A and B are shown apart, each in its own frame.
Chain A
Amino acid sequence: MAPLLDVDSLAVTLPSPRGPLPILHDVSLTVDEGELVGIAGESGCGKSLTAQTLLGLLPPGAAVTGSARYAGTELLGLDARGWQRVRGAGIAMVFQDPSAALHPMLTVGRQLTEHMRVHLRMDRRAAGRRAVELLDQVRIPDPERALRAYPHQFSGGMRQRVAIAIALAARPRLLIADEPTTALDVTVQAGILALLERLRAETGLAVAFITHDLGVLSALTTRGYIFYAGRVVETGPTGSLLTAPTHPYTAALLGARPHGTQSGGTLRPIPGAPPAPGEAPPGCPFQPRCGYAEPSCGEAPPPLTPAGADRSVACVVRPHLEVAA
């Protein structure tokens, strides 16, 4: 079966005052029907831009090459009407900050039903019934009352649930969630993660979950992609990816996080900083910060090559990596 989303050799260049700035290079990824896929990396690594590309939200002047097929339809090069058919009813998105995603002066009910009336051509009464169902599905207590409430009357976690309900309104098959729990407390985050997993199990929703938190990646997703400087540097089943990384960057990210298993230590930071867009060195983008770099790393960006069970890695050295449990 063909994957629901199939991105192949995607490259995006954004305009800037100093000339075109390449942001994404040769990104390939797939999401299957009903699959929870994680995309992880530091800010500026291109994970959010990938999401924007898949929803046709790139700024004017962006140059895109490669291919991105959703349910057999090529997304790149769609016109405004084409995008309108895909957005909402095909691919929907949830953002990091629910307060910014919701309109502060419209009731939750209005924001929920507008979507359905346009996309699904429902009448007011049917849309209202579905809105109650949706709020119930995302576990908002007292849905009828919630419909008449404004976003500021909800807590951060509840607002994010409302945003998810709105994203689900037109029955999308793929939900792109861009750091939806980053602004939330761990206790609230746990609820949102469980909600996404339940939606996947009950409705077959596929989720592409973008995060910088490897713990969240491991807890929720079954397959993961690690981004660095606009490239996929490693991919595979999340469990093996994070317990036995083969790319030095994945291992370094794991080392820099607090483990929650032993205390009294200090964290192991990654020396230096990620390269700014357009300033990546020739060759492997991680090479200047990598403890295992060899002269050959400076020649060309290493391609993503198969590395054991369903895994691929973009590293020519392939050092033996010690991973702190």
Chain B
Amino acid sequence: MNTPAPARLSFTDVEVEYRSRGRGRVRAVAGVSLEVSPGQIVGLVGESGCGKSTLARVAVGLSAPSAGTVEYAGRPVTPLGWRPRSGAEVGLQMVFQNPYASLNPRRTIGSQLLDGVPAAVTGSARRARVHELLERVAMPSSAAQRYPHQFSGGQRQRLAIARALAPEPRMIIADEPVTALDASSQAQVVNLLVGLVRDLDMGMLFISHDLALVHEIADVTAVMYLGRIVESAPTRELWREPRHPYTRALIDAVPQIGLTPRLPAILAGEVPDPANAPTGCRFRPRCPHAFAPCGEQPPTVDLGGRSVACWLTDSATAPTAARSL
């Protein structure tokens, strides 16, 4: 191999379908295209059940897409099997929501970190590498001899991050990595992840239902609704000027601190069952701006650096009054 392909993660028209006995075919992910480049943090937000975690599992090969492709560093991501993964594939690592479940309770931290250290590192260098990893996540090297239960939730998540870093990844998929943590340890873990991405020039897909948190750290934010990405844009622009009514609704639902109590805005209805998704625009039944064209699935329109799937942004169809959300 001469020059390795850039460690970019790209989803192209990815669909994931489950067969459920009671509900028939459920399309959890219904055509998602998304790209994460090295050095970039892409935030993926949406309500529970929108398919965010399914997409994360597909990204690292824990489930297989039923249509479309997931490519990492120019090669398709293959579903995980018993055979060890090739060197390029381990460049893609995942941090899970629950550090209590992602670490083995019966093995020391050191031995779990050693699992991930590349085989090319041999002899005493392996132990040294473990200590380097612990230092990276601001844990003392004595942590190597201890067991997961001896640490707090925030510390455990830092150790899980060290485990993800052990194989020298170029891309991290973080699925709700701080949801289970308290405010102060949340900030510590988030800062650690952001610092690592910046220092090591890694890419990160940061999945969260916390819009404010994603706003704080992501370069690009993608908003997912019922298996589709409805809007994606540079974070600042998305927040300042959301173009999709669902993005607007999510932003308005975040409670804000102010001098007088002000209840967040309510979005009518609930996320429909993906087995029974509405025809046309999937957000239509809850959308305050829905109008005739919404009976058809809106195409994802490129608006120069950002994209949105909504008929309101189409000048041919949109009533002018509805265009500003």
Contact = CB atoms under 8 A, between A and B. Distances in A.
Contacts of B216: 258-260, 263-267
Interface in B220-278: 235-236, 239, 249-250, 253-267, 270-271
A166 B127 CA distance: 57
B26 interface: no
B186 A256 contact: yes
Given A220-B263, A221-B261, A239-B261, A268 B187 contact: yes
B257 A218 contact: yes
B296 interface: no
B209 A273 contact: no
Contact of A253 (B152, B184, B210): B184
B261 A218 contact: yes
Contact residues of A: prevailing secondary structure: helix
A261 B262 CA distance: 16
B154 A214 contact: no
B194 interface: yes
Contacts of B48: 156, 185
Contacts of A222: 261
Nearest to A197: B263
Given A263-B216, A267-B187, A190 B258 contact: no
B257 A269 contact: no
Given A243-B258, A265-B216, A194 B266 contact: yes
A271 B306 CA distance: 37
B260 to A, nearest CB: 5
Interface string B281-324: 00000000000000000000000000000000000000000000
B211 interface: yes
Contacts of A190: 253, 255, 263-267
Contact of A193 (B154, B213, B249, B264): B264
Contact of B253 (A187, A221, A274): A187
A319 interface: no
A259 B257 CA distance: 9
B75 interface: no
Contacts of B266: 187, 190-191, 194
Contacts of B217: 258, 263, 266
Band of interface residues on B: 35 or more
A218 B48 CA distance: 24
B182 interface: yes
Contacts of A193: 255, 263-264
A216 interface: yes
B188 interface: yes
A212 interface: yes
Nearest to A252: B184
Contacts of B249: 187
Contacts of B152: 273
A257 interface: yes
A266 B191 contact: yes
A105 interface: no
A127 B60 CA distance: 53
Contact of B250 (A187, A216, A258, A267): A187
B261 A263 contact: no
A215 B257 contact: yes
Contacts of B262: 219
A213 interface: yes
B215 interface: yes
Interface residues of A, number: 50
A265 B41 CA distance: 13
Contacts of A132: none
Contact of A215 (B47, B254, B270): B254
A2 interface: no
Given A187-B253, A190-B266, A267-B187, A258 B210 contact: yes
B1 interface: no
B255 A213 contact: yes
B176 to A, nearest CB: 12
A65 interface: no
Among A187, A194, A214, the most chain B Cβ lie within 10 Å of the Cβ of A187
Contact of B263 (A219, A256, A257): A219
Nearest to B251: A260
A242 interface: yes
Nearest to B234: A263
Interface in B170-201: 182-188, 190-191, 194-195
B257 to A, nearest CB: 4
A254 interface: yes
B215 A258 contact: yes
A157 B212 CA distance: 21
Nearest to A256: B187
A158 to B, nearest CB: 8
Contact of A260 (B212, B265, B270): B212
Interface string A166-192: 000000000000000000011111110
Contacts of B154: 273
A78 B252 CA distance: 45
Given A185-B209, A215-B212, 12 more contacts: A42-B183, A190-B265, A194-B263, A215-B257, A218-B261, A220-B255, A239-B258, A257-B212, A259-B212, A259-B216, A266-B190, A266-B217
Interface of A: 36, 42-43, 155-158, 185-191, 193-194, 197, 212-216, 218-222, 238-240, 242-243, 252-254, 256-260, 263-270, 273-274
Interface of B: 47-48, 152, 154, 182-188, 190-191, 194-195, 209-213, 215-218, 235-236, 239, 249-250, 253-267, 270-271
23 contacts: A42-B184, A155-B270, A185-B209, A186-B250, A186-B255, A187-B47, A187-B267, A189-B255, A190-B267, A218-B255, A218-B258, A220-B263, A238-B261, A243-B259, A254-B257, A258-B210, A258-B213, A260-B211, A260-B254, A263-B218, A264-B235, A266-B216, A267-B216
